[in-house]
Amino acid sequence: MVCLVLLAATTASGLDARYHTYEEVAFELDSLAALYPDLMLVDTIGVSTRDSMVIWSVKISDNVDVEEDEPSILFHAVHHAEEILGLEIVMYAMNDLLSNYASSSQIRGFVDASEIWFVPIHNPEGHKVVLDSLDLSFRKNKRDNNGNSIFDYTPGIGGDIDGVDLNRNYSLNWIHSTDQWISDYYRGPAPFSENEARAVRDLAQAQRFAIALFYHSARSGTKEIVYYPWKWGGKYPPDFPIIDDLARELASRIEKDGGGETYDYQVSGARESFARDWFYANQGALALLVEVGSDIHPPGGAVDDICERNLEGLYYLIRRLHGMGDASGAALTGRITDGSTVDPVAA
């Protein structure tokens, strides 16, 4: 649907030049906002914990400067520094929505009836470690855990003294995640101790997303799968039939890299401080995580195809906001109004 043009043919890192650097994302967001000022709004929601790098949010909607009474959905990428495919999917989707708005009635319907939000790089300082080829397997942010003002990391998997796993820094079940600095899964000194996690928390509280999708890529373990809340001690959450159906349908719309099969889906049994569980329990969002790609850093020539196939799932979720793509025709949003004024009331 859309082909992205990057600024440089080569990068200084060991990664293919197809992958966006932080600077390329900044340039592209500015360019898109200038081209589509009525449809796209770029904002700063925070800065990273150590290097104070800007964390962006992007809103795509008609009347983009107005808070309308429309359902909102979030697509989020780069909790973990090395998991860079999600950024490419998010950038691809934004380009597709904007460039096809005028010509596609489906896209125009999505944009006119929804508030579509993106966080392209949640962990900019960790992402830069990877794109600068300091450590292609770095996962965390760069919190100075031992307070020595030196970035203490060890190239290769694990062994990094500094940094917090941002997807273990949410308040729900924080106590169950590890308190060991050197772990790739270190939870941080306190729930929401990290600027990055607080930035996304505050965005969620302000926007009350109906659906949230978190893009990850598995270094090890199961790939090309959708995870969703939850099965803890044999118990499921109250909305389990709805979120189970949503996960199954999302997975069925994303073709695996090898072709012929679609993504798997699985309820999560892990009880740690994951974003998806916090978003569901604390904000009421139907929150899913998708592990994209059969390789964490596929060749650049494969990236557009992965993005295109994941676009099918992304657009399915937007359709479900409005009761499209479901046999019942039931939307996943509702409206609460004041009985006297008929004004919307925050849920």
pLDDT digits (tens, 9 = 90+) for 81-133: 999 999 999 999 999 999 999 999 999 999 999 999 999 999 999 999 999 99
The verdict on whether 291 is a catalytic residue reads yes
Do the beta carbons of residue 298 and residue 306 sit within 8 Å?
Answer: yes
**Do the domain assignments include residue 332?**
no
**Do the domain assignments include residue 336?**
no
Any idea what the CATH number is for the domain that residue 186 is in?
A: 3.40.630.10
**Do the domain assignments include residue 13?**
no
**Do the domain assignments include residue 183?**
yes
Structure tokens at 221: 């373990």
Do the beta carbons of residue 199 and residue 298 sit within 8 Å?
Answer: no
Q: How many domains does the chain have?
A: 1
Amino acid 325: pLDDT: 57
Answer whether residue 276 shows pLDDT above 80: yes
- Beta-sheet strands, E only, within the chain: 40-47, 54-60, 72-77, 115-119, 211-216, 225-228, 264-267, 286-291
Answer whether residue 330 shows pLDDT above 90: no
**Do the domain assignments include residue 342?**
no
Pairing of strands 225-228, 264-267: parallel
**Do the domain assignments include residue 1?**
no
The average confidence (pLDDT) of the chain is 91
The residue with tokens 């000194």 is 189
pTM: 0.91
**Do the domain assignments include residue 338?**
no
Choose, from 24, 125, 194, 291, the residue flagged as catalytic.
291
Read off the pLDDT of residues 29-58 as tens digits, 9 standing for 90 and up: 999 999 999 999 999 999 999 999 999 999
**Do the domain assignments include residue 88?**
yes
**Banded pLDDT at 298 (limits 50, 70, 90):** very high
Buried b / exposed e across 29-50, counting CB within 10 Å, b at 16+?
beebbeebeebbbbeebbbbbb
**Banded pLDDT at 332 (limits 50, 70, 90):** low
Domain hosting 260: range is 22-321
